[in-house]
Amino acid sequence: EVQLVESGGGLVQPGRSLRLSCAASGFTFDDFAMHWARQVPGKGLEWVSGISWNSASIGYAASVKGRFTISRDNAKNSLQLQMNSLRPEDTASYFCIKGTRDAFEIWGQGTMVTVSS
């Protein structure tokens, strides 16, 4: 069974940093692209960042580019999102996603990030 378990969320002050992690299991991790998306409670989905299986291709939403960094460790079946210079508008639930065929096949349960003073 495919499992994606996010961790690292929490309450952080504006301007500070947070690092999210995603532990993957149940599939061959280094065969698939991985992504992060976020959702403000009660609002729509926003794609945040994606990384190809070999880290050769990486993309970011304009809203986070220059502040967030995605990375993966295929040896450890893990995905990370380093979030710097956090803003109140970054407050959302962040989902780790297994990619497939340019779509988002399996979603983790999400980890909540709250940016507030």
Partner 1 sequence: QSALTQPRSVSGSPGQSVTISCTVAASDVAEFIYVSWYQQHPGKVPKLIIYDVLERPSGVPGRFSGSKSGNTASLTISGLQADDEADYYCCSYAGGYNWVFGGGTKLSVL
Q: Which stretch binds partner 1 (CB under 8 A): 7-15, 17-25, 39-47, 78-86?
A: 39-47
Nearest to 90, CA basis, from 62, 113, 59: 113
* The only residue of 20, 22, 24, 35 in contact with partner 1, by rule CB under 8 A: 35
- Those residues whose C-beta lies under 8 Å from the C-beta of residue 85, and which sit 6 or more positions away, are 15, 17, 67
Q: Which stretch binds partner 1 (CB under 8 A): 9-17, 23-31, 76-84, 102-110?
A: 102-110
Q: CA 64 → CA 22, 38, 47, 60, 83, distances in Å?
A: 19, 11, 10, 7, 9
Q: Is 5 in the site for partner 1 (CB under 8 A)?
A: no
Q: Is 9 in the site for partner 1 (CB under 8 A)?
A: no
Element (H, E) at 39: strand 34-39
Instruction: Pick the closer one to partner 1 by CB: 77 or 106.
Output: 106
* The only residue of 9, 23, 53, 61 in contact with partner 1, by rule CB under 8 A: 61
The two tokens of residue 92 are 């959302």
3-state SS class at 112? strand
Instruction: Pick the closer one to partner 1 by CB: 61 or 112.
Output: 61
Give the binding-site size for partner 1 (rule: CB under 8 A): 26
Residues of this chain that bind partner 1 (CB under 8 A):
35, 37, 44-47, 50, 52, 57-62, 95, 100-110
